[in-house]
């Protein structure tokens, strides 16, 4: 998948680990996006990010 990542994304980033586990390329492709506990705090502070993730 294109985009800036470090060698630690798949081992340290809880969001990335969740996406890999659910076999989706990004959170935007997850059916639980709007109720996700993993990104809950991010959405709380910036709810408009949901629209960006769904693109």
pTM of the model: 0.68
Cα torsion at 8, 47, 45, 34 (round to 10°)? -60
Cα(35)–Cα(12) distance, rounded to whole angstroms?
A: 22
Q: What is the pLDDT of residue 23?
A: 93
Q: Which has the higher per-residue pLDDT, 41 or 4?
A: 41
Q: Is the pLDDT of residue 7 over 90?
A: no
Mean pLDDT across the stretch 20-42?
Answer: 89
The domain limits of the chain are 31-55
Q: What is the pLDDT of residue 5?
A: 63
Judge whether 21 and 28 are in contact, CB under 8 Å.
Answer: no
pLDDT digits (tens, 9 = 90+) for 36-54: 998 988 888 998 888 888 8
Nearest partner of 54 among 35, 34, 38, 36, judged by Cα: 34
Mean pLDDT across the stretch 31-36?
Answer: 90
């Amino acid at each position: 998948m294109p985009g800036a990542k470090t060698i630690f994304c798949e081992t340290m980033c809880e969001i990335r680990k969740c996406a890999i586990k659910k076999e989706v390329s990004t959170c935007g492709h997850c059916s639980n996006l709007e109720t996700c506990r993993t990104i809950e705090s991010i959405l709380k502070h910036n709810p408009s990010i949901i629209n960006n993730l769904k693109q």
